[in-house]
Amino acid sequence: MSDKSDLQAPAWRNVLLRVVLSAGAGVLIFLSNPPRTLWWLAPIGIAVLGAVIYGRRARAGFGYTLCAGIGYFVPLLAWTGEFVGVVAWLPLSLAEAALLGLAGAGIAAVSVLPAWPVWAAFVWVTGEYLRSLFPFGGFPWGRLAFSQPDGIYLPLAAVAGTPLIALAVAMTGFGLATLVRQLLVDRQPRRLVAPVLAVALPVVAAFGALPLVGTDPNDGQATVAVIQGNVPRAGLDFNSQRRAVLDNHVARTEQLARDIRAGRAKQPDLVIWPENASDIDPYRNSDAWSRIEDAAHAIDAPIAIGTVLVGDDGLPRNTVLLWDPQRGPVDQYTKRKLQPFGETMPWRSFFRIFTSAVDRAGQFVPGDKPVVFRMGNARVGLATCYEVAFDDVVRESVEGSNILAVPTNNATFGYTEMTYQQLAMDRVRAVEHGRTVAVAATSGVSAFIRPDGSVTQSTGLFTPAALVERVPLRSTTTLSDQLGPVPEWLMAAAGLVAIGIAIMVRRRGRAGN
């Protein structure tokens, strides 16, 4: 009996070691995300995970990658529970980790194929595509591309968007795992060519894509002002101070107008206010209307104003109004992708069993179409806050535009890393679509991002500020925009085909034995 236990002990220790390594791989990928600039940790984390699941059964691949997902998503998504508690944070993190685990099962399966790092990278993209669709209408937070705004792979966004960056990072990581294995374990230097290519080709492709990243003002220039009025306090209950938030943004706009008259700032051609800058419906509240009108007259420029309009059904819409200083509101855009556990509460009645905090989340109604605001010579595409995480929403928003505005409100999530994670997405979108991105946040971080993804100005958190900059307007359609979602579909299909072939290979191997 003791002999049997002695034989089992090393096996369990090996399993425990692989669990720890897998979770550590997830932590490395997490650490590659902003606000840190450790982008190179992402392929290393992928390499560690690849080394653990290489040659294992799909069930083991699922389990170990689930552990990696927990190590990744639990810290990455901690902001989701900042004000509604663990009832949002932990279930969502576990759901995302489980979906990543499914990809891990596929990666373990394809590890029997020749050139497996390539097929494993395709399977990784398949997993990211799945997470962009499910749960809750998709939750693409945590894509590898969003860890890379400071990395060498960023130019690939101009070629085929976030999926190509993910493919490159994953292929580098899995290639690195194979390279190390060949050198240290198998010791077969003749078989180094394939893993070396898997590591090197994505890097070469990224540098080759640099000429596709344009920053020239091929559709003119505009002076843009971004207003960050700040909020009375962080958290969901900032809404109880709605008038104070509106007054803050009016006051900061009027201060900018005084600075312009004094020669301390340039006159803007257009102004961007954040999401929820006026949570008081100006159509229903004459005082709010008057305050916004005062700000527009003072700055003497059209303002894109984040507000909340109440429909005839009594339910709110997260809206951006285009406010002309002479004519008042002349156009509007309603946010199409609503944030779960904030603007909406998935499975509200179910989660209410565990906590009443779920009722602090909203009951917003989504919009159904993109809108481009004409503000002087600028044609402003709009992606409100959470929408910037979704490839299709941003792709539709930039069509017909020459600049992208991202009004956002991250005050709900306090001092968490959420605002920096979202800013990373903004930077990737700038390169993907070849647009200047103006980010206006109620409490920070507001920023100007050039079409090459670099940040030229930014604010701090929970402080009033105004940024003014002369920015390039660009109407160029990038290769990524021309190709649309097709590259991701092809990559996902390649991943599924590889899994199917791997299953057949494994079955034939078992039949041969």
Cα(156)–Cα(161) distance, integer angstroms: 7
Sign of CA dihedral 284, 287, 292, 294: positive
Number of neighbouring beta carbons within 10 Å of residue 321: 23
Q: Catalytic residue at 67?
A: no
- Give the helix/strand (H/E) hosting 273: none
Residue tagged active-site, from 337, 385, 387, 488? 385
Sign of CA dihedral 444, 446, 449, 455: negative
User: What length is written for the chain?
Assistant: 513
Q: Catalytic residue at 96?
A: no
Nearest CA to 103 among 196, 29, 155? Answer: 29
Q: 488, 161 in Cβ contact below 8 A?
A: yes
What order do you get walking across the sheet with 437-441 strand by strand?
372-375, 378-382, 403-408, 437-441, 447-449, 455-458
CA 17, distance to chain mean position in Å, is: 32
Q: Catalytic residue at 335?
A: yes
Residue tagged active-site, from 82, 275, 432, 488? 275
Q: 114, 502 in Cβ contact below 8 A?
A: no
Cα(391)–Cα(409) distance, integer angstroms: 20
Query: Which residues lie below 8 Å from residue 91, measured CB to CB, with a gap of 6+?
Result: none
Tokens of 297: 């007259």
Tokens of 259: 């600075």
Tokens of 174: 């899995």
Helix and strand numbers, DSSP H then E, in the chain: 14, 12
What order do you get walking across the sheet with 328-334 strand by strand?
328-334, 316-324, 303-310, 270-272, 221-228, 465-472
Q: 308, 316 in Cβ contact below 8 A?
A: yes
Contacts 24+ apart (CB under 8 A), 490-494: 491/122, 491/125, 491/126, 491/129, 491/163, 491/167, 492/122, 492/125, 492/126, 492/129, 494/119, 494/122
Cα(423)–Cα(458) distance, integer angstroms: 10
Nearest CA to 407 among 207, 218, 217, 270? Answer: 270
Q: DSSP 3-state assignment of 428?
A: helix
| Residues annotated as catalytic (active site), given as ranges | 275, 335, 385
